[in-house]
C-alpha cells in the first residue's frame, strides 16, 4: 500500500513511518520540519537526541534495506501538496501534520491565529487534494480526546444517539474543547465530516489520548532511530514532565487539584491503532471516529505512580500543586468509550511498572540534557499576552505569569 505520512518527522510520525515501512508498505514522509523550528523559538528541546530527517531516513535504509521517501514542504502550500499527492498516489494518508500544543496556541493572538490557520487550512487543503487527485484514498486524521472536554455524561466515539421530545437521531457528539489548539481539531472534524458527505471521500478521525513511551520495535534498533521526548511545559505531556522532574530532584508539578482525568496510551498502541484503521478502511463517503486510548488516569494518579516508581530507583520524589494555568475542571466526571479499536483487534499495552521504570531509565540516562527553566508553566490561559520567550508580538507584554497565576489561585480562596 502507498502510505503518505504527513508530519512524519515528529514524535509519533517518525516511529509510525518506520513501523509501516517495516510492514512492507511504501511510505512517504511529508513534513515542513516545523516541530524542530518551534524548539528554536521556545528554547526547548527533545531530551533524547534525535537525528535530522535525511539522516534518520538514510540510517533506516542502511539498517533495513527499506526506503522511506521524504518530501519537505508545507501543506498550506497547495501547489506543493497537490504535486506530492499526485506523484505519490497514496492509498492512505496519515495526517499528523498539525501544531499539537495547547499551551503554544494560548501564548498570544499570533500563536492562536497561527495554530488555527495552520491546522484548519492545512487540513482543508488536504481534503481538496484528496478529492482532486486520489478520491479513493483513506484519510487517517489525528484528532484528540480533548475535543470532547469533560461533559457530565459518558463520552461516545464521535456520535451519540439523542432522544428528544419523543424523536430520535444519531448526531455528532457535542464538543467542548479547552484551548485554541483543541478548537482547531474540532474545526477539522466538522470540515472532514462535511467533505466525506459532500464529495464521497473516506476518513477515520482518531481522537487520541495522551501518548507515552519512546520505545517501539523500530526505535530500539539504533540510537539514531530514536524519536523525540518532550518534557517542557509547552510541548511535553504530563507523564514525561513528571519523569524528568523526578529524575532531577524537583517536585512533580501537578496543576491544581489534580483530578483532571484523561485517556492515555502506549506509543506502540498508537502505531497499531493507525495500522488497524488503514487495514480496514471506511467505505466511500464514510466518516468514522475512534477514541484512541487504552486507560484513564487523573494527573494526580500519575504523580503518585511516578513517586512510587521513582522510589524504586532511589529517588526522593515530592509532589507540588501549582495553580492551574489552564481553565479547566480540576474535579469532574469522566468516562469515555473506546471499544471500536479493541473490536478491530487492538491488544493494549497497559501502563505497567516495568514500562514506567524503563521510561525512567531513559530519562535518567539523559538527565544532564534537561533545560530546567522550561518545566514550569509559562503560558496562562487567562492572559492574552504571555510574557515568555515565545512572545512575538513586539507589543508590551503583560505581568509575569507567576504573579497572575498566584492571583488567580488566591482569588479562588486558596483551593
Catalytic residue ranges = 144, 181, 185
Cβ closer to its own copies: 251 or 398?
Answer: 398
Cα 221 from Cα 219, distance rounded (Å): 5
| 286: Cβ contacts below 8 Å, ≥ 6 apart | 196, 202, 203
Cα 174 from Cα 256, distance rounded (Å): 26
Cβ closer to its own copies: 112 or 243?
Answer: 112
Binding mask 83-112 for its own copies (x = CB under 8 A): --------------------------x--x
Assess 58 for contact with its own copies (CB under 8 A). Answer: no
Retrieve residue 46's grid coordinates: 527533545
Cα 393 from Cα 387, distance rounded (Å): 10
The correct pick among 52, 72, 87, 194 for binding its own copies (CB under 8 A) is 194
Assess 141 for contact with its own copies (CB under 8 A). Answer: no
* Nearest approach, Cβ of residue 255 and its own copies (Å): 15
Q: Bridge-partner residues for 295, per DSSP?
A: 264
Cα 370 from Cα 253, distance rounded (Å): 16
Assess 80 for contact with its own copies (CB under 8 A). Answer: no
Assess 332 for contact with its own copies (CB under 8 A). Answer: no
| 336: Cβ contacts below 8 Å, ≥ 6 apart | 145, 148, 154, 155, 263, 291, 293, 296
Cβ closer to its own copies: 151 or 400?
Answer: 151
Cβ closer to its own copies: 149 or 224?
Answer: 149
* Nearest approach, Cβ of residue 165 and its own copies (Å): 5
Element (H, E) at 79: helix 78-88
Number of residues that bind its own copies (CB under 8 A): 51
* Nearest approach, Cβ of residue 121 and its own copies (Å): 6
Cα 25 from Cα 20, distance rounded (Å): 6
Cα 254 from Cα 260, distance rounded (Å): 10
Strands of the 295-298 sheet, one edge to the other: 210-212, 261-266, 295-298
Assess 117 for contact with its own copies (CB under 8 A). Answer: yes
* Nearest approach, Cβ of residue 375 and its own copies (Å): 24
* Nearest approach, Cβ of residue 128 and its own copies (Å): 4
Cβ closer to its own copies: 169 or 320?
Answer: 169
Helix %, strand %, coil % of the chain (to 5): 40, 20, 40
**Sites for its own copies among residues 369-398 (CB under 8 A):** 381-382, 384-385
The correct pick among 154, 353, 357, 372 for binding its own copies (CB under 8 A) is 154
Number of neighbouring beta carbons within 10 Å of residue 158? 23
The correct pick among 30, 107, 120, 234 for binding its own copies (CB under 8 A) is 120
- Binding residues for its own copies, rule: CB under 8 A, are 78, 109, 112-113, 116-117, 120-121, 124-125, 128, 131-132, 151-154, 160, 162-165, 167-169, 171-180, 183, 186-187, 190-191, 193-194, 197-199, 327, 333, 381-382, 384-385
Amino acid at each position: 500500500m502507498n502510505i503518505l505520512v504527513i508530519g512524519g518527522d515528529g514524535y509519533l510520525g517518525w516511529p509510525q513511518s518506520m513501523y509501516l515501512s517495516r510492514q512492507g508498505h511504501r511510505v512517504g514522509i511529508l513534513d515542513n520540519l516545523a516541530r524542530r523550528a518551534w524548539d528554536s523559538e521556545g528554547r526547548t528541546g527533545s531530551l533524547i537526541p534525535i537525528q535530522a530527517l535525511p539522516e534518520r531516513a538514510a540510517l533506516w535504509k542502511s539498517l533495513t534495506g527499506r526506503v522511506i521517501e521524504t518530501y519537505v514542504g508545507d501543506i498550506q502550500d497547495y501547489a506543493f501538496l497537490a504535486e506530492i499527492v499526485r506523484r505519490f498516489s497514496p492509498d492512505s494518508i496519515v495526517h499528523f501534520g498539525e501544531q499539537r500544543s495547547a499551551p503554544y496556541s494560548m501564548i498570544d493572538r499570533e500563536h492562536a491565529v497561527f495554530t488555527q490557520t495552520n491546522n484548519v487550512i492545512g487540513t482543508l487543503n488536504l481534503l481538496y487534494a484528496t478529492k482532486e487527485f486520489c478520491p479513493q484514498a483513506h484519510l487517517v486524521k489525528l484528532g484528540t480526546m480533548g475535543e470532547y472536554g469533560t461533559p457530565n455524561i459518558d463520552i461516545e466515539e464521535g456520535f451519540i444517539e439523542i432522544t428528544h421530545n419523543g424523536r430520535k437521531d444519531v448526531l455528532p457528539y457535542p464538543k467542548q474543547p479547552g484551548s485554541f489548539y483543541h478548537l482547531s481539531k474540532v474545526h477539522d472534524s466538522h470540515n472532514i465530516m462535511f467533505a466525506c458527505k459532500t464529495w464521497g471521500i473516506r476518513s477515520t478521525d482518531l481522537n487520541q489520548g495522551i501518548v507515552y513511551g519512546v520505545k517501539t520495535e523500530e526505535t530500539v534498533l539504533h540510537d539514531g532511530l530514536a524519536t523525540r521526548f518532550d518534557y517542557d511545559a509547552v510541548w511535553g505531556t504530563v507523564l514525561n514532565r513528571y519523569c524528568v522532574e523526578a529524575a532531577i530532584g524537583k517536585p512533580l508539578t501537578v496543576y491544581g487539584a489534580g483530578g483532571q482525568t484523561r485517556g492515555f496510551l502506549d506509543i506502540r498502541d498508537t502505531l497499531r491503532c493507525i495500522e488497524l484503521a488503514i487495514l480496514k478502511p471506511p467505505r466511500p463517503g464514510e466518516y468514522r471516529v475512534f477514541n484512541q486510548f487504552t486507560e484513564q488516569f487523573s494527573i494526580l494518579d500519575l504523580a503518585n505512580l511516578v513517586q512510587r516508581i521513582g522510589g524504586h530507583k532511589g529517588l526522593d520524589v515530592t509532589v507540588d500543586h501549582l495553580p492551574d494555568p489552564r481553565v479547566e475542571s480540576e474535579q469532574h466526571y469522566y468516562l469515555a468509550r473506546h471499544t471500536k479499536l479493541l473490536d478491530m483487534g487492538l491488544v493494549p499495552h497497559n501502563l505497567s511498572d516495568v514500562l514506567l521504570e524503563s521510561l525512567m531509565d531513559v530519562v535518567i540516562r539523559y538527565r544532564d540534557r534537561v533545560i530546567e527553566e522550561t518545566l514550569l508553566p509559562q503560558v496562562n490561559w487567562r492572559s492574552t499576552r504571555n510574557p515568555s520567550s515565545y512572545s512575538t508580538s513586539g507589543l508590551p507584554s503583560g505581568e509575569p505569569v507567576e504573579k497572575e497565576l498566584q492571583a488567580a489561585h488566591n482569588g479562588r480562596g486558596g483551593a
